[in-house]
Amino acid sequence: MPLHRYLRTFVFACLLVLGSLPARADDAFHQFLESLWPEAQKMGVARATFDAATRGLEPDLTLPDLDIPGRPERPPPGQPEFVQTPADYLRESSFERLATRGRTLYAQYRDTLTRIEQEFGVPGKIVLAIWGRESDYSTHYGGRDAIQMLATQAYTGRRKPFFRNEFIYALKMLQDGVPRSQLRSSWGGAMGLTQFLPSEYYKYGVDFEHKGRVDIWTSVPDALASAAKQLVGEGWERDKPWAYEVRVPPNIDCTVANPDQKMPLAEWLKLGFALAQGRKPRPRDLNEPASLLLPAGTHGPGFLIFHNYFALKEYNFSDLYVLFVGHLADRIAGERSFETPWEKVVQLKTADLERMQRVLTARGFYQDKIDGKAGMKTRLALGAFQKANGLKLDCWPTAELLSRMGN
């Protein structure tokens, strides 16, 4: 973006904060919107639809994750999967409440969920759990105007190409008859009962009620079938497991919790791992490749995860999100709570985790993106660092460990 447009955006933001926003529109923003017309036209958007959607539109510079010169970076809110500890995110009280409600809804929508499973191969309890996690089983859509959210992110967000594409698809939704009143979203543009982006609406939306239009806002069958189709698109395999909680052998080397280190479930069991709660694996699962997951390092439960785990992770790229959805689905089906308790650990601040990732990168332990999240690869790199330096091996980031790393 040219310097003069950055400066205009910065001045606009300052005026907004000071409460002296001029009545006229931001010229640079509207020039940007107009530059999108050819792309919208190629997607079948009529000029009248484009003009109605963009007329008088102003950027919402209160949004997070914007790239505005002179304004301190504001980390995206509303992503507890990345800022809460496992113990805080995976609360038993939440599972108990949502599982109880989920069993009631399963009975209510049994026919729909059976049809979904037959058609897509995704268990009804899985898509029901996604609905529970995404919107607390709500049938009311909320949020702010998605057109404004997406236009702002496309104009001055940190992922402009991504949101530019989503904005064009949102215009197509208007062209295809979706009322703007339904296009209410989070700051990132996701909408509906199971939180779909506009492009996902077109790629995975299912008119499961055969009413002539995909309705992910008020139709539970459409929303849940669409979620199932998305999981299939992300690689979900019919009649395969997602994960088993396991009793981890004592003194485990937590660096074996590597998603790339896979072996059949039967081989893990031979190494001393056992399914929690005394469960017995389905015989057909014994040959399924699995890897070990230790979401809190050695400070909580362990899981053997399968291909379908990673299909769920494409829905939301967070181990805690996947564990929440998978475990909630199991609880709806009548399974018990986690056998191994989650210990109370401290979650480092994003900036401290970024610093830790940079140190691990500089020392050759970490080769992934610097994102300030204690994900699988970060925990694995941290464990390798602990082993190399003769430190206590627990694969969990702490302030004490960060101080030991130096700069």
| Statement: residue 79 has pLDDT above 90 | no
Mean pLDDT of 50-54: 98
> Which candidate, 18, 86, 28, 93, places its Cα nearest to that of 57?
28
Report pLDDT digits (tens) over 316-331.
Answer: 888 999 999 999 999 9
What is the distance between the alpha carbons of residues 348 and 354, in angstroms, rounded to a whole number?
Answer: 10
Q: What is the DSSP letter of 180?
A: G
Report pLDDT digits (tens) over 127-137.
Answer: 999 999 999 99
Mean pLDDT of 86-101: 96
> Which candidate, 111, 115, 114, 174, places its Cα nearest to that of 146?
174
What is the distance between the alpha carbons of residues 169 and 154, in angstroms, rounded to a whole number?
Answer: 12
Residue 6: predicted pLDDT: 46
| Statement: residue 124 has pLDDT above 50 | yes
> Which candidate, 29, 30, 12, 17, places its Cα nearest to that of 69?
12
Residue 108: predicted pLDDT: 98
Residue that is written with structure tokens 């950055």 in the block: 6
Tokens of 236: 């979900």
Q: 289 - beta bridge partners? A: 264
Report pLDDT digits (tens) over 153-191.
Answer: 999 998 999 999 999 999 999 999 999 999 999 888 999
Of 22-31, 140-149, 150-159, 269-278, least confident by mean pLDDT is 22-31
What is the distance between the alpha carbons of residues 358 and 278, in angstroms, rounded to a whole number?
Answer: 42
pLDDT band (50, 70, 90) for residue 71? low
Residue 21: predicted pLDDT: 39
Q: By the 8 A CB rule, do 381 and 365 touch?
A: yes
| Statement: residue 20 has pLDDT above 90 | no
Residue 157: predicted pLDDT: 92
What is the distance between the alpha carbons of residues 296 and 375, in angstroms, rounded to a whole number?
Answer: 10
Mean pLDDT of 141-149: 89
| Statement: residue 64 has pLDDT above 90 | no
Report pLDDT digits (tens) over 316-375.
Answer: 888 999 999 999 999 999 999 999 999 989 888 888 999 999 999 999 999 998 988 888
Q: By the 8 A CB rule, do 199 and 165 touch?
A: yes
